[in-house]
Amino acid sequence: MNILIYAMLTVGIIQMIVNIWKYTQFLRSLRDVLSAGRGRVRIWKYVALVLLIFFLLGYLLVTFKGKPDIIIAGILFGGSIFVAIMLTITFMLMSRTKERSIDIAEVLIGVIDARDPNLNGHSRHVQNLTMLLYEYIPSPKKKLINPVSLEYAALMHDVGKLGIPEIILNKPDKLTDEEWQVMKKHPEIGVKILEPLKSFRHVFPWILYHHEHIDGTGYHGLKGWRIPYASRIIAIADTYSAITMKRSYKEPRSHDEALAIMQSVAGTQLDSDLVEIFCNIPKNKVLACKPEKVDFDIGDSTNQILSEQSSDKQ
Ligand SMILES: [Fe+2]
């Protein structure tokens, strides 16, 4: 009998250690944009925590008081298995939530690309470039940003273009001032589109401020450090993608030309530290970010960069 009791307690303790590790993994994954803030997952988080603490206290009491009987050992063993099952169910719930969020993101990106042929592949290109740049930013800054959240914020940064009239989106010529005012609303529209996705809430500012300039001359006039760091990263990727893509009225620029343009606006439009980091990334890695089978065209940022550069000259 004693052997059975100690076997149950030993297996139970090992299972509890695994449960604690699983729970920390679960908490970590809750920080990303695909799973954060979902009601059912949140409830499970607290229930699992209470059960974990309850059974851990049980094991501690048995360890210090000694002489456990078969019933206590059975309860503790059963408890550790129960918590393991609960955590597995929670992970399943969360992965279903993640899959749904990914599906929604894919549908939205597909609709954007379909509405604006000139943006074909731009969102995916910005996503890839953003994650490449993220790899190279210093570790302390890296820790401030959840990579999954950043990836999806980059992918969805222009989702607000769904609310921009096609006549403006597909205009082959330069936009008029009035049309620019409409185009400049796309970050706000993007946040409104994503509002029902509660898990995306913490990346709304990243999307809203992706057209800010370091000197405060961007869409909302945010300056320097007030611009979310993630938005500044996305702005670098967005700008590079915009410059190197082709539009009906403009040929794509080369990698080296793009870097030169970005360096010329570092400290005024773009974060100079991030521009420097980006310029030092090996060229082949940057070029590899292009999505396959895409005839590159320019997004609104180049239009914006070029119009701003030309207005600067005036
Ligand atoms: Fe944009």
How much distance in Å is there from the Cα of 245 to the middle of ligand 1?
Answer: 14
How much distance in Å is there from the Cα of 210 to the middle of ligand 1?
Answer: 7
Three-state secondary-structure class, residue 268: coil
Q: How much is the pLDDT for 5?
A: 82
Looking at the structure, tell me whether residues 90 and 132 fall in a common domain.
no
With CA atoms as reference, report the closest residue to 279 among 301, 262, 267: 262
Looking at the structure, tell me whether residues 93 and 123 fall in a common domain.
no
Q: How much is the pLDDT for 307?
A: 43
| Assigned domain for 108 exists | no
Three-state secondary-structure class, residue 22: helix
| Assigned domain for 257 exists | yes
Q: How much is the pLDDT for 68?
A: 72
Looking at the structure, tell me whether residues 91 and 120 fall in a common domain.
no
pLDDT in tens, the chain (314 residues): 678 888 888 888 898 899 899 888 877 776 666 665 556 666 777 888 888 888 888 888 887 777 777 888 888 888 889 888 888 887 787 777 777 777 777 787 777 777 666 666 888 899 999 999 999 999 989 888 989 889 989 988 998 988 888 888 877 778 889 999 999 999 999 999 888 877 778 899 999 999 999 999 999 999 999 999 999 999 999 999 999 987 766 778 899 999 999 999 999 999 999 999 999 999 999 999 987 644 444 344 444 444 443 333 32
Looking at the structure, tell me whether residues 163 and 194 fall in a common domain.
yes
Q: How much is the pLDDT for 110?
A: 77
> Are 259 and 147 within 8 A, CB to CB?
no
Looking at the structure, tell me whether residues 94 and 125 fall in a common domain.
no
* d(C-alpha 300, C-alpha 302), whole Å: 6
* d(C-alpha 223, C-alpha 204), whole Å: 18
| Assigned domain for 103 exists | no
Whether 98 sits among the annotated catalytic residues: the reply is no
**The domain containing residue 23 runs over which residues?**
2-98
Looking at the structure, tell me whether residues 200 and 239 fall in a common domain.
yes
Looking at the structure, tell me whether residues 83 and 126 fall in a common domain.
no
> Are 152 and 203 within 8 A, CB to CB?
yes
Total structural domains within the chain: 2
Looking at the structure, tell me whether residues 73 and 200 fall in a common domain.
no
Looking at the structure, tell me whether residues 38 and 135 fall in a common domain.
no
Looking at the structure, tell me whether residues 87 and 129 fall in a common domain.
no
Q: Which of 141, 143, 161, 285 is catalytic?
A: 161
Strand partners, 250: 247
Q: How much is the pLDDT for 32?
A: 66
How much distance in Å is there from the Cα of 272 to the middle of ligand 1?
Answer: 20
Residue where a domain terminates, one of 46, 72, 98? 98
Residue where a domain terminates, one of 98, 129, 145? 98
Looking at the structure, tell me whether residues 87 and 128 fall in a common domain.
no
Residue 307: exposure state from Cβ atoms within 10 A (0-12, 13-18, ≥19) = middle
| Assigned domain for 107 exists | no
Instruction: Say which CATH number the domain at 181 has.
Output: 1.10.3210.10
How much distance in Å is there from the Cα of 158 to the middle of ligand 1?
Answer: 5
How much distance in Å is there from the Cα of 282 to the middle of ligand 1?
Answer: 26
How much distance in Å is there from the Cα of 207 to the middle of ligand 1?
Answer: 8
* d(C-alpha 171, C-alpha 261), whole Å: 24
Q: Distance of CA 174 to CAs 254, 302, 306, Å?
A: 22, 11, 10
